[in-house]
Amino acid sequence: MNRGEILALVGASGSGKSVLLREMILLARPTAGQVRLFGEDAVDLDESTANRLRRRIGIMFQHGALFNSLTALENIAVPMKEQTDLPDAVIRDIAMLKLLLAGLPADAAHKYPRQLSGGMHKRAALARALAMDPDLLVLDEPGTGLDPIGADALDDLILDLHRSLDLTVVMTTHDLDTLWRVSDRVAFLAERRILATATMGELSASDDPAIAAFFQGPRARAARSLTWNRG
């Protein structure tokens, strides 16, 4: 993928999106093939090299994966506490900024994950992913479990952050609205491989039966017209 773009991975459930994503972020070993990260071959790395690469990646897990015993602010501070020698006051200051960047209100800072609503939970997870100012932001199903307003707001936020922080983003999603609005390019997974990588416009015009089934169903048409109407 290219620097600074938003690439979406799509495919039916079980087509291997999450596995591919896990291999990309060095959490799972590929059984075959290779992974290249930031121009380096990323298979069979020793632990310290792998960790160095991982630091340049911010990950937002599908269910947030916030640490339950820590407040939102403490959650965001974890990567900085572990990976830098910055004084605590500075880390708190930076963590608070990330919280605001992720669109959370300031008073969410000292709440525990269980006290946050679904949308706020996702935003806190996003803020933690952004904690180290990663070069690559990985989002696993960012809109899942959110109402349409929340999902739209999250899409806006991702676009906003992508623009202002110069991020490269990889995301998996089922959400066709998100695909149309956010992604620069889309990689379509099926039959255990990437069938095509193209822009949404090109993909939705594809005559491959698997891709067509995904992008030309009734929901897809609705999502597309909606985007066009929005201009």
Partner 1 sequence: MTPPKHRFQTRTAGTPAQTAAGFEWSTDRRRLRLTGHWTTAALDGISAAAAGSGQTAEPVDVDGSSLTALDTAGALLLYRLIERLKGDGREARLSGFDDRHLALLGLVRERLAAQADSLAALELPRRAAGLERLGRDAWEWVLQGFSMLSFGGETSLAFLRSLLRPARLRWRQILLVVEQDGVRAVPVLGMLSFLLGVVIAYQSGVQLRVYGGNLYVVDLVTITVLRELGPLMTAIVVAGRSGSAYAAQIGTMQVTEEVDALRSIGVSPIDLLVLPKISGLVVALPLLTVFADMAAVAGGMVMSALMLDVSPDTFMRRIPEAVSINSLMTGVAKAPVFAAAIASVGCYHGFKVRGGADSVGRHTTTSVVQAIVMVIVLDAAFSVVYSWMGI
Q: Which residues bind partner 1 (CB under 8 A)?
A: 52, 55, 68-69, 71, 80, 83-87, 89-90, 93-94, 96-98, 100-101, 105-107, 109-110, 112-114, 130-133, 164-166
Smallest gap from residue 132 Cβ to partner 1 (A): 5
Residues near 12 by Cβ (< 8 Å), separated by ≥ 6? 190, 214
Q: Which residue blocks in the chain are alpha helix, DSSP H?
A: 17-24, 47-54, 72-83, 88-101, 118-129, 148-165, 176-182, 200-204, 209-215, 218-230
Smallest gap from residue 173 Cβ to partner 1 (A): 24
Coil, strand, or helix at residue 160? helix
- 49 token code pair: 């090299």
In one-letter notation, the amino acid at residue 175 is D
Smallest gap from residue 103 Cβ to partner 1 (A): 9
Q: Measured from the CB atom, is 13 or 69 closer to partner 1?
A: 69
Q: Measured from the CB atom, is 51 or 199 closer to partner 1?
A: 51
Q: How far are the Cα atoms of 4, 21, 56, 122, 157 from residue 145, in angstroms, in the given order?
A: 27, 19, 27, 9, 16
Q: Measured from the CB atom, is 114 or 230 closer to partner 1?
A: 114
Q: Measured from the CB atom, is 52 or 193 closer to partner 1?
A: 52
Pairing of strands 36-37, 40-41: antiparallel
Q: Measured from the CB atom, is 105 or 201 closer to partner 1?
A: 105
Smallest gap from residue 69 Cβ to partner 1 (A): 5
Coil, strand, or helix at residue 32? coil
Smallest gap from residue 139 Cβ to partner 1 (A): 18
